[in-house]
Each structure stands twice: as C-alpha cells, then as structure tokens.
Amino acid sequence: MQGAFMKKLLASLLVFSSLTCAGCFFQTEKQEDTRFMMDTIVTITTTGNNTDGLKAATNDAFQLFQTIANQTDPYTKQGPEDLYAVNQSAGQGPHKASPYLMDILSQVRPMGNRDLDLTLGPVIQVWNAHKETKTVPSEGEIAQALAKTGPEKYTVDTAANTVTLAPGTQLDLGAVAKGYAVEQAADLLSRDKRVKTALINAGGNIKVLGTKEDGSPWKIGVQDPRNPQKIIGTLAVKDGTAIATSGDYQRYYEVDGKRYHHILDPRTGWPAWHARSVTVVTRSAFWADYYSTLLFVLPEDQAMALVENNPNLEMLYVDLDGNTYLSSGLKDIYTPEK
C-alpha cells in the first residue's frame, strides 16, 4: 500500500483509536509521526525547541518500538531468539529468548493469573481461522485448543534467558506487547533532552510525558464503545500517566447478530461477554495494557474489587448495557460527556 491509498488508510484507522487527545500541546515546536506497527496505528507527538531534534527523537522511539514488535511477533520469523522461534521450539526443551521478549515474560509469568494467559495462541489461531470465514468454532475445537493452554505450560529461566514450552503450546503477547512497547518508548523519550513533552498512542495504549506550558492537565477522551465518533467522557491526567482501553469494538465479527471479539476468556476459550470496554489508568503503560485486558474478562463487581484493592490502579468500566462504573480514584479527574 503506497501513496494516497496509505494516507487514506491511516486517516480512517485513526478514527478507531480507543482514546483521543485534544488541546494537548502549546509549545512552539511540535513533531507528530504516525506509523502502522504491531497491527495498529501508533502516533508519537512531541514538543521541544528544535524540529530536527524532535524528528530524530521520534524516529529513535519508533525504531525501539519496531525492535520490540519484531521480538514479540508470533506469526513472522524475525530471528533465532524471537517469539516465533520460541513457539517453534515447543516440546523441545529450553530455548533462548531475545531481551525484550524475556523481560515481558519474566514480569508476567510470576503473576500466574488464570484470567490473563499468554499461552492462548492455539485458541487465538482457531478464532482467527473462523473470522476469515465468518463462522463460529465448535465446542470441540475450542476444547482441543484450550487443552494446550495454561500458565503451567511454560517456564522462564531468567538466569539462562530461556523459555520452555510444553508440546503444542504457543505464546501470544497481544494482551501486553503494545503496552510494553509504549512504556519502553516513553522511557527513551523521557531521557531525551530534546523532548519537553510527548504523547504516545498505540491503538489506545497511551502514555503522556511532561507538563504543558500552562500547567493544565492532559485531557484524554474515552471513546464511546458503540460510536467511534463520540466520547463518553474525559480524563484529566498528569505527567507520567498511562492509559489503556480494551474493548469489544476493536476487533470483532458478527454471526447471526452476535458479536465475536478478540478478547478471550482463558477459562472458556470464548470471547468474554461482561463489558463493552474497560479503561485502566496507572503509571506504567505495560501494566495498563495487562490490567485492561484482565479486567475486561471479569464481571464488573470482581473487576472493581480488584482495582479498589490496588492503590496503583484506577478503572472506568462500561458493561454490556452501557452502564459506566468508576473506581474511587477517578471521580475527581473524570468528566462525563453531556
């Protein structure tokens, strides 16, 4: 895809970003770059004193983003230690893992949470095949694939930098990889003296850096999960805040009027049907991505209980009927749309 067609594609895809930002920048020099990476639109916007310096800083961030994308891609062979190679080694003993892949797995593996399972690759492959034909898998297909999943199906050896997968197990990092890339890119930009403020948006995985010239908070609009042209409210956040949204509207298909989306319940192998969208606010884009996926799988009361017991997490939960629930820490920074 090249030229005008690519520009139209980018423009149309940007409409579907989970979160939007308006009025974020007031400084003289501004650089904005948008690229298609990790199966989504990634936009990096920076401000500073020198346009050339901002372009170079932005390009450095995108190069890092691409490196992480390559190391975590389960479908394309990139190198001998990246995710594709690790998946190919299932059942063959320990396999060396690339640095960013190892970092992700070493942080998620100890969580051992059954409601977010990185071994869902076999089930995801079943759903991807049926999406192509607009059909629904059988209970047997799902059960057969689900038998190959579970936190116990892989181990991580941080000393040897290896991952061991059980036979048939396939890792898929779709629940965390974009957030991890956003956090790593944000860390790079935060240490770059050419950059005063930055906003990274990878398909709704957002991180804001710096303080605006007038001292006002960053204002992030939360998309209406049933109308991509509208927002349901606005979050006013400060430097270093990360926001991620998981929703049933981002990737889905319909059969006989029923929506089959991409966020699967690891316990059943079927799409989670509790929420329309879940937005998480915290400090790390990596953990915002992780928890937005995990909380989406849970009913509202269980999700809220988890959040209220974690002082580092806040959440906006929209259930299947369109009702909105806010965690206590968001009540002063969230303004619903009238």
The DSSP bridge partners found for residue 44 are 33, 200
The DSSP bridge partners found for residue 209 are 198
What tens digit of pLDDT does each residue of 287-327 get? Answer: 999 999 999 999 999 999 999 999 999 999 999 999 999 99
**Residue of 17, 20, 13, 15 lying closest to 234 (CA atoms):** 20
| 161/298 Cα distance (integer angstroms) | 33
CA distances (Å), origin 116, targets 113, 119, 120, 250? 6, 9, 9, 18
Q: Rounded mean pLDDT of 149-172?
A: 97
| 120/124 Cα distance (integer angstroms) | 6
23: pLDDT strictly greater than 90 = no
What tens digit of pLDDT does each residue of 51-110 get? Answer: 999 999 999 999 999 999 999 999 999 999 999 999 999 999 999 999 999 999 999 998
Mean pLDDT lowest among 44-48, 255-259, 301-305: 255-259
pTM of the full predicted structure? 0.90
CA distances (Å), origin 65, targets 35, 44, 70, 313? 11, 11, 9, 25
9: pLDDT strictly greater than 70 = no
15: pLDDT strictly greater than 70 = no
| 206/19 Cα distance (integer angstroms) | 8
167: pLDDT strictly greater than 90 = yes
What tens digit of pLDDT does each residue of 233-250 get? Answer: 999 999 999 999 999 998
Pairing relation of β-strands 275-282 and 334-336? Answer: unpaired
pLDDT given for residue 148 in this prediction: 97
| 27/188 Cα distance (integer angstroms) | 21
| 167/157 Cα distance (integer angstroms) | 18
Pairing relation of β-strands 218-224 and 227-237? Answer: antiparallel
Q: Note the Cα 59 to chain centre separation in Å.
A: 21
pLDDT given for residue 228 in this prediction: 87
| 23/127 Cα distance (integer angstroms) | 39
Q: Say if CB 158 and CB 119 are below 8 A apart.
A: no
Q: Say if CB 295 and CB 315 are below 8 A apart.
A: yes
pLDDT given for residue 12 in this prediction: 36
pLDDT given for residue 18 in this prediction: 41
Q: Say if CB 42 and CB 36 are below 8 A apart.
A: yes
pLDDT given for residue 304 in this prediction: 98
